[in-house]
Amino acid sequence: MTHLPFILGSYGLALVLGVGFAVDAWLRVGRARRRLAAIDPRRQRERDRGQERD
C-alpha cells in the first residue's frame, strides 16, 4: 500500500477524535447524573418513598 503513514495518520486522527469526544460526553453525562441524583429533591422524595415501601 502506497503512502501508508499518511493514510494511517488520517484514520488514526479520526478514531482518536471520535473516541475522545464519545468518552468525554459519556463521563460528563455520568457525572451530571450522579450530582443531580444527589441534590434533586424530587429524586430524593422518590428514594424515600421507595425505602418506606421496603
Partner 1 sequence: MDSSLNNPRTIAPGGRGLHRFANPGRFLRLSGRVLPFLAIAAVVLTLGGLAWGLFVAPADYQQGDAARIIYVHVPAAWLASGGYLGLAVCAVISLVWRHPLADLAAVEIGPVGAAFTALCLATGSLWGKPMWGAWWVWDARLTSVLVLFFLYLGHIALVRAFDDPERGHRAGAILALVGVVNLPVIKFSVDWWNTMHQPSTITVTGAPAMHVDMLWPLLTCILGFSLGFAAIVVARLRAAVMERRIRGLLMAQAQGAEGRVA
Residues making contact with partner 1 (CB under 8 A): 1-4, 6-7, 9-11, 13-14, 17-18, 21-22, 25-26, 28-29, 31-33, 35-36, 39-41
Give φ, ψ of 53 to 5 degrees. -65, -40
Q: Determine the residue type at 1.
A: M
CB closer to partner 1, 17 vs 46: 17
Task: Give the DSSP per-residue string, 4-27.
Answer: HHHHHHHHHHHHHHHHHHHHHHHH
CB closer to partner 1, 41 vs 50: 41
Residue 47 CB, nearest approach to partner 1 (Å): 15
